[in-house]
Structure 1
Amino acid sequence: MATMTTGNPSRADANRRRILDVALAELLRDPDASMDQIARAAGVVRRTVYGHFPSREALISTLTDEAVQALADADVAGRTGVTDPAEALARSVLALWATADRYRLLIALAQRTVTVQGIRERLAPVRAAKIRVLQQGLEEGVFTSPLPAPALAYVHEQTLFAVMEAVNDGLLAAEEAGRAATVTVLTSAGVPASLATALVTRVSSHP
């Protein structure tokens, strides 16, 4: 969840930050939460919420932007300093999942309001970084795939969305999903299942 701003922000900025923080909590609790519910939970009148966000869709769009930025930060943190493409991919996906899991209900909701294409466009920087890792792995023979790196990155992106949906639908336990998704991504890049499982186990034990 986004944190409150520090320092001495203006009252308007503080209200906006509080509305976003409360809106995220309310929407994760109740994806159908209305602007009235969010205003009451934030301790402000509805007019204040609409003063910052002209519609519920605009509010969700802003929350989605923040979620995507959190994913981008997690991706960078996960693979920084790792030179082996397979380990970089594993650490990246595990870090992405740890962040995405906090937002998965929001992302499912955003697909109804922001649209899948809108989310895909927002994820372009994360995808570009993933393409570089995949391209390196393909060139070094660590990965094997009939797909070029950009197409493989799309497959991995959709895999993570599908795993989120599986968790939301109760088909997969949330605590198992991160490792399962990471092994799936690695095997789809041509890493043998036994090696992928061992790598994910090692990386998970030594974050």
Structure 2
Amino acid sequence: MHALRLPAAALLLVPVAARAQRAAPDSLPFSPGQWGIEAGVGGGGSVGALKFLSRATALAANLAVNYNTRTTDPQLASVPVSEFSNTFVTATLGVRHYSPVARSIGALFTVGAALSRQSSHANPGDIRGHETDVGAFGEVGLSYFVLPRLTLNGTYGLTVQHQDGAQLQNLLNSQVSTVKTHGWLVQTTGVRATVGIFF
């Protein structure tokens, strides 16, 4: 995630919104009942689905899963091998609205609910952690219609979530040390690129 840059992003969207109001309302290639899928590019690691309720509005669902593992072997008898694994899952469900801006270009705005779940495990020490974030998200961006059924999209998003997590470590004598975290988290998704295919 990246630091907040909302003022700059808002200034860039002002001329886009103005042009969207002047564009013809029937210049979008979508139709009610149409389906679409989106996939992140450039390490986005996400896949989504769209179900159009009208020519300009669709239900939008997205799922992103990231898993990484790391093993460090110092090759010293006195230093144990260290292992670390982390799983991060994010799901969103919302409503997206498109507005025509120019020929083959449309502005988009999405708002909805967001749910994130992260779990990790580390050795030595048998350290386990988990965190659940629940809240809302919003994103703005542009779609370039390469073909009526193929789009390239660029978006910039913001999430506001309440986080609830804990870190547990097994100690001697079967004791467990627990550190809990609670609070609100506001963060941006940065610039995200996706490819959309519509049926």
Which protein shows a greater Rg?
Answer: 2
| TM-score normalised per structure 2 | 0.25
Instruction: Answer 1 or 2: which has greater helix percent.
Output: 1
| TM-score normalised per structure 1 | 0.25
Instruction: Answer 1 or 2: which has greater strand percent.
Output: 2
